[in-house]
């Protein structure tokens, strides 16, 4: 490490308290991103920190067969930094994991290429120690594994309408669904964005409701896009998954769960509010296992759920470890057991989630006879920061006929 390089890095660092971290320099379609972390225990002479692992969804995580990456200390300072070049259209979440160990990963995770499962296990053990970037001015949240993460939007990343707005909205109601069929109970959030003609409002069921209600609240974004006329006034129902075990059981092609939704949850909803009870405007939306479950529900009960919004759908299920073997939904579609023709479908997947991307690319051609089919790729990983924009975009796309009938579309959109 040269003295000149250290001087340049320290000069750049002095600007960070004002500019925020990370630093982004974009030339053409490529951004050079520099991450900084300041060691609260001082320099290498006083600090026990030996590594500051950087976990970037879809870039340095287990989805990529790449050795674990650590920030490097600038000698004689409390500053750690790490740099990477990314496409300027990338968006994603990240966190730091300071560690007192020189190496927290097994030999299998460090070989070239790393063993994916060993890498996954190493990160799983480390993530409980993760911290959000204290210099990042954007709001942090807790990712899918419960660890804090920070947001990074590169300059050419797709717009995410509604998410930067602070729209006034009526607070959602939190109900309790006691299911006899499933033998459990959970919270369910009910949110509406218009009362003038309640019987004309379409319905969207947003799976992983606890995430969109609490960890990354969606209410203001939905209201802002409704106020702009991009979304029609609507009813949103957000069921909690209870916990990880219930999620992996209920959101993986589980008929009992969806029968309970139809026999118990929908009647409960009818006691609370009015909506347009029409499969052509009823959306099931979900991510990962939720994306799998959304398409599963629409394919099996098109007379009830006519629209599926699947983001990073886990269509590999149940064969994650069996390369070359089709997931269950793909097998059933190929064999003619399921028919997509009555449905409107919106699929999206990230370019940096290889297993999910491959499964989505495989199932997409099998859905070509759908009434309408939209497929979108984004430069990102298995990441709610990407999904939040696609969720709004998907609802806008699937409900465009509703807006047209309501006279919302003005010909310029």
CATH code of the domain covering residue 335: 3.40.50.1820
CATH number at residue 133: 2.60.40.10
Q: For 25-42, what is each residue's pLDDT tens digit?
A: 999 999 999 999 999 999
Q: Are residues 179 and 49 in the same domain?
A: no
Q: Are residues 281 and 376 in the same domain?
A: yes
Q: Would residue 159 count as lying in a domain?
A: no
Q: What percent of the chain has pLDDT over 70?
A: 92
| pLDDT > 50? residue 1 | no
Q: Are residues 313 and 356 in the same domain?
A: yes
Q: Are residues 178 and 144 in the same domain?
A: no
- Give the global pTM: 0.92
Using the 3D structure, point to which of 153, 182, 214 is the last residue of a domain. 153
Peptide bond into 113 cis (omega under 30): yes
Q: What is the phi/psi pair of residue 349, to 5°?
A: -150, 155
Mean pLDDT lowest for which of 141-155, 177-191, 322-336, 378-392?
Answer: 322-336
Q: Are residues 318 and 288 in the same domain?
A: yes
Q: How far apart are CA 203 and CA 274, in angstroms?
A: 10
Q: Are residues 311 and 348 in the same domain?
A: yes
Query: In terms of residue numbers, what domain contains 64?
Result: 3-153
Residue 403's pLDDT is what? 66
Per-residue pLDDT band for 324 (boundaries 50, 70, 90) equals low
Using the 3D structure, point to which of 153, 184, 216 is the last residue of a domain. 153
CA atoms within 13 A on the CB side of 21: 23
Residue 143's pLDDT is what? 84
Q: Are residues 7 and 142 in the same domain?
A: yes
Residue 21's pLDDT is what? 79
Q: Are residues 83 and 214 in the same domain?
A: no
Q: For 207-230, what is each residue's pLDDT tens digit?
A: 999 999 999 999 999 999 999 999
Q: Which residues share a beta bridge with 235?
A: 192, 203
Q: For 141-150, what is each residue's pLDDT tens digit?
A: 998 778 999 9
Q: Work out how many domains the chain is built from and give that number.
A: 2
Residue 14's pLDDT is what? 56
Q: Are residues 128 and 35 in the same domain?
A: yes
Q: Would residue 48 count as lying in a domain?
A: yes
Strand 235-239 to strand 203-206: parallel, antiparallel, or no bridges (unpaired)? parallel
Per-residue pLDDT band for 240 (boundaries 50, 70, 90) equals very high
- Name the residue among 340, 254, 334 with its Cα closest to residue 302: 340
Element (H, E) at 4: helix 3-19
- Name the residue among 365, 409, 390, 7 with its Cα closest to residue 221: 390
Q: Are residues 224 and 352 in the same domain?
A: yes
Q: Are residues 141 and 207 in the same domain?
A: no
| pLDDT > 90? residue 376 | yes
């Amino acid at each position: 490490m040269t003295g000149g390089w250290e001087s340049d890095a320290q000069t750049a660092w002095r600007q960070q308290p004002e500019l925020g971290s990370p630093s982004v320099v974009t030339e053409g379609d490529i951004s050079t991103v520099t991450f900084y972390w300041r060691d609260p225990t001082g320099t290498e002479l006083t600090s026990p920190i030996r590594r500051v692992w950087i976990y970037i969804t879809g870039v340095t995580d287990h989805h990529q067969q790449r050795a674990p990456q650590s920030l490097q200390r600038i000698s004689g300072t409390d500053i750690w930094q790490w740099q990477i070049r990314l496409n300027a259209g990338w968006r994603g979440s990240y966190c730091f994991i300071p560690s007192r160990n020189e190496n927290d990963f097994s030999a299998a995770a460090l070989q070239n290429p790393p063993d994916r499962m060993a890498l996954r296990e190493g990160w799983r053990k480390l993530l409980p120690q993760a911290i959000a970037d204290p210099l990042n001015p954007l709001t942090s949240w807790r990712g899918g594994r419960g660890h804090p993460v920070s947001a990074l939007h590169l300059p050419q990343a797709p717009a995410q309408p509604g998410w930067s707005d602070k729209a006034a909205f009526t607070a959602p109601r939190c109900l309790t669904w006691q299911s006899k069929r499933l033998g459990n109970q959970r919270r369910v959030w009910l949110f509406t964005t218009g009362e003038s003609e309640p019987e004309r409002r379409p319905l969207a069921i947003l799976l992983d409701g606890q995430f969109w209600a609490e960890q990354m609240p969606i209410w203001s974004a939905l209201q802002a896009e409704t106020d702009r006329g991009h979304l029609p006034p609507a009813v949103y129902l957000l069921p909690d998954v209870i916990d990880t075990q219930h999620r992996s059981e209920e959101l993986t092609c589980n008929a009992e769960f969806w029968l309970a939704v139809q026999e118990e949850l929908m009647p409960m909803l009818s006691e609370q509010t009015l909506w347009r009870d029409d499969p052509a405007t009823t959306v099931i939306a979900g991510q990962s296992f939720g994306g799998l479950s959304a398409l599963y529900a629409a394919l099996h009960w098109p007379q009830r759920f006519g629209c599926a919004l699947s983001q990073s759908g886990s269509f590999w299920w149940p064969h994650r470890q069996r390369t070359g073997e089709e997931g269950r939904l793909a097998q059933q579609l190929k064999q003619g057991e399921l028919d997509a023709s009555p449905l409107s479908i919106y699929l999206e997947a990230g370019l940096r989630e290889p297993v999910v991307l491959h499964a989505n690319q495989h199932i997409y051609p099998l859905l070509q006879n759908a009434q309408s089919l939209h497929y979108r790729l984004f430069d990102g990983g298995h990441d709610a920061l990407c999904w939040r924009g696609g969720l709004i975009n998907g609802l806008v796309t699937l409900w465009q006929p509703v807006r047209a009938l309501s006279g919302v579309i003005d010909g310029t959109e």
